Structure 1
Amino acid sequence: MRIWQGSSPAFTFVFTMGIVNLFGDVTYEGGGSINGPFMATLGASAAVVSITAGAGEFLGYALRPFSGYLADKSGRYWLITFIGYGINLIAVPAMAVAGNWQVAALLVLAERVGRAIRKPTVEAMISYTTGELGKGWVYGLNTALDEVGATIGPLMIAAVLFWNGSYQLGYLLLLIPALLAFLSLAVARAGFPVPSKLEQGQTASAGDFSPAFWGYMIAGAFFAAGLMSFELISYHFDRTHVVTGQWIPVFLAISTGCGVLVSLAFGKLFDRFGLPVLLVAVLLSATFSPFVFFGGFGTALVGIVLWGIGYATQDTLLKALVATVLPEGRRNLAFGLFYGGYGIGWLIGSVVTGLLYERSILALVIFAIAAQLASLPMFVLASRLQR
């Protein structure tokens, strides 16, 4: 397999959609780097911040089966993609005019709803290239470009804060990458109106939803329950002064910057070794919480890098894993259902960690570690069912 598919239409499509996601991640990861502290300035508590983030992630996953089903039935995957990106991206700069935490919370939810609408269609369209390029490499490359954007966005916000700019100014500046994302998406639509023509071989081998598919979904839900949102992490940093305000976006940028390398490496390794790569990644991710919540600046930095490995895992390896059990003709729905289950786990984890934060940090850390470690035997069992 060629590492750089410069003459390949499949690679061109994956790379173009990666550029869309790059600008998209600049927008909403830039906003996400300050959502927690910004909501705190509007009077939101730790529980409100965590539960809002958790509810947003839940909606961002739970609505995916519906958008995936609609895409499979209607065939209007590009239209659905444009609608999703529209809601997803515009909600971020709109935070600049939020006058209270309730409005800010609604915009956080809206951003995640838009993501839910467009995610299954994007993942399904990209899946047509996996026969030529490899499942791990395709989703690893796409995630790596995501993470480049997710690194640039927080650094933009950090620069604003270092120059004593306001949170509102930071949100307004994110309108620029939002518009660039729309432009890139239009280029992708013009160049590849029917992505299914890129398919080589049979990239969706399952006849229907198998026991392995449902097993992977349950395992993913446990993994999600222990991952937690950056909104809660940034709230903790701001509240305890372990990491000062302008450094919080930099921490997110460092995490996502490491995620670029992790996504590319894990993606290639997954194509060669399969499930063991995912298991190692989960083990690394499970250790992030004690570093984040106990200790000082340096310890927190180690924790945020490990947390970034967790995010790279869910964005690269879980997608590659699902791609091995996709049912033909229902791949939009399959991605939607998988991440719907993932979202249920995320919501439960966010509610639990948000409530535990005010009562016992130790209990919060134990819960986060236990939830992610519990996913390991479930992934193994589902893999055996697949074989």
Structure 2
Amino acid sequence: MAEPDTPDAVAADAASTSVRRRIPAGIWALGVVSMLMDISSEMIHALLPVYMVTVLGTSALAVGFIEGIAEATASISKVFSGALSDWLGKRKLLAAIGYGLAAFTKPIFPLASSLDWLVAARFIDRIGKGIRGAPRDALVADIAPPELRGASFGLRQSLDTIGAFLGPLLAIGLMWLTADRFQTVFWVAVIPAFLSVGVILFAIKEPERPKTLRKVRMPLHRDELRRLGSAYWWVVAIAAVFTLARFSEAFLILRAQSIGLPLSLVPIVLVLMSLAYSLSAYPIGILSDRMDRVTILIVGMVLLILADLVLAFAPSLLGIGVGVVFWGLHMGFTQGLIATLIAESAPAELRGTAFGMFNLVTGLALLAASVMAGALWDVVGPQGTFVAGAAFAVLTVAGLVFMAGRLKAPDRA
């Protein structure tokens, strides 16, 4: 017989329901947009490296080069799109253009008969991601009530990550149903991409820019970057060191393969990580609106240290699975929270620029982290890669403890 709920449990459930109802519809819609586009993108990206190598005869080195250039392009694009959204005072327009570019590249993947077409599609897709990223995050901050910013960023991140694990699952199922017909899977992926564009165009209303808000003429000028404030730059600095600790998730897949995971089940690694991520991001976002955010970030970094150590020394696939779950939980504890700190530490009229600069710095840090991780993997082995990640995570914890006072952002509307 089930035990009755305790008063504390009932109160917590009621509070969570209240938060969900108070989050504006625009935040939910932005989350659905992210989810649909992630389903589409991950259906393709879960299969694209294998398709390029086995069907088009591309080398693994070429795949790595293409992916590196694509992600660097996205990071650079975010700086300019964020600044442009501050200059125009319009977020939705740029976000819609970014999602639209990504959607219109999707039919190229099943139609492409050569590597050149795939490279062009991947490049334009990443430009679209770069264009939409900073304005979308700034739009979340603009729409969300100040007392619900953590929950709002957590909700959007959670819905986004649901797409990140549904996409590979759909890809696995469709490959089985169609006897490994890549093009069929790629065509199905077109549908959610165009649905996401429809949602952002017709279901999201951008709030009017307050008349009292200062107009920004040159967002990337050094005087404007100074206006971002020391609290913002400390958040970016801590996030950069943190990013050095969390290299590409591709190394989670390589670690699972090194233990003996069959190639056909490789997407399960990302599904497991994304599931842990999506289930934790929204509750942690709610929690961050009620308690000290730096403390929650420290807990997230401890989870990353545990993940690295388990992945470094686990002798079985079960242990690797535990490490992957810890990795997903650390993402849920940190990603939405860092976005919230960026939104709150930057002036409202410079939020697009703030997210753009943040994405550029952390994107370059992720590139450096992945290069170091790969070098350590080749020279020392998997243990060296994950132990180094744990060391950077320890440095991040030390930085968070030391800079806790500086990271307390000023009140922003």
Partner Cα distance (1:360, 1:101) in 2: 33
Q: Matches of 1:228 and 1:2 in 2, distance apart?
A: 33
Determine the structure 2 residue equivalent to 1:260. Answer: 278
CA contact (8 A) 1:53 1:350 kept: no
User: 2:356 and 2:57 mapped to 1: Cα distance?
Assistant: 35
1:321 equivalent among 328, 341, 344: 341
- In structure 2, C-alpha distance between the alignment counterparts of 1:170 and 1:49, rounded to whole Å: 20
Which position in structure 1 is the counterpart of 2:385? 364
Considering Cα pairs closer than 8 Å and 6+ residues apart, tell me whether 1 or 2 has the greater RCO: 1
CA distance in 1, matches of 2:52, 2:164: 20
Q: Is the 8 A contact 2:31 2:156 kept in 1?
A: yes
Q: 1:157 aligns with which of 165, 171, 177?
A: 171
CA shift digits 1:335-371 (9 cap, x unpaired): 1111111111011112222333333323222332223
The corresponding residue for 1:177 is: 192
TM-score, length basis structure 1: 0.85
Report the AA paired with residue 253 of structure 1. Answer: V
* Equivalent residue, structure 2, for 1:214: 233
Matched, 1:242 2:263: no
Q: What is aligned with 2:365?
A: 345
Cα distance between partner residues in 2 of 1:44 and 1:292: 30
How far the C-alpha of 1:97 sits from its partner, in A, is 4.3
Deviates more, 1:125-134 or 1:342-351: 125-134
Which amino acid in structure 1 is aligned with residue 197 of structure 2?
A: F
Is the CA contact (8 Å cut-off) linking 1:213 and 1:382 kept in structure 2? no
Aligned residue among 363, 378, 386 for 2:399: 378
Q: Is the 8 A contact 1:151 1:257 kept in 2?
A: yes
8 Å CA contact retained: 2:300, 2:334: no
Q: Give the Å deviation of 1:303.
A: 2.4
Which letter maps to 2:369?
A: G
Tell me how far apart the structure 2 counterparts of residues 291 and 100 of structure 1 sit (CA, whole Å): 41
> Greater shift after overlay, 241-250 or 341-350?
241-250
Shift of 1:223: 1.7
Give the C-alpha shift of residue 151 in structure 1: 2.1
1:81 aligns with 2:95: yes
Contact 1:46 1:354 in 2 (8 A): no
| 1:271 equivalent in alignment to 2:319 | no
For 1:288, the aligned partner's letter is A
Match of 1:71 in 2: 85
The one-letter amino acid paired with 1:375 is T
Query: Per the alignment, do residues 88 and 147 of structure 1 end up closer, same or farther by CA in structure 2, a change over 3 Å counting?
Result: same
CA distance in 2, matches of 1:109, 1:140: 29
CA 151–312 in structure 1, closer or farther in 2 if over 3 Å, else same: same
Match of 2:142 among 128, 131, 137: 128
Distance 1:284 1:271 in 2: 20
What secondary structure is seen at the aligned counterpart in 2 of 1:21?
helix
Whole-angstrom CA distance in 2 between matches of 1:225 and 1:6: 34
Percent identity between the aligned chains? Answer: 22
Q: Supply the AA of the counterpart residue of 1:326.
A: A
Task: Give the 3-state SS of the residue equivalent to 1:140 in structure 2.
Answer: helix
Per-residue CA distance 1:186-219 (angstroms, 9 max, x = gap): 2234xx143657xxxxxxxx99212221121121
Q: For residues 340 and 120 of structure 1, what CA distance do their matches in structure 2 show?
A: 10
Task: Give the superposition deviation at 1:101.
Answer: 5.8
- Corresponding position of 2:326: 306
TM-score after normalising by structure 2: 0.80
Q: Which residue of 2 aligns with 1:284?
A: 303
Query: Matched residue of 1:272: which SS?
Result: coil
Deviation at 1:234, TM superposition (A): 3.5
Query: Closer, same or farther in 2 for the Cα pair 1:114/1:379, shift >3 Å?
Result: farther
Q: Report the structure number with the largest CA radius of gyration.
A: 2
What 5-or-longer segments of structure 1 have no aligned partner? 198-205
Structure 2: gaps (5+ residues): 1-14, 211-224, 409-413
Match of residue 19 from structure 1: 32
Give the residue type in structure 1 aligned to 2:27. V
Once residues 186 and 270 of structure 2 are traced to their aligned partners in structure 1, the CA distance between those partners, rounded to angstroms, is 16
Alpha-carbon distance in 2 for matches of 1:231, 1:52: 15
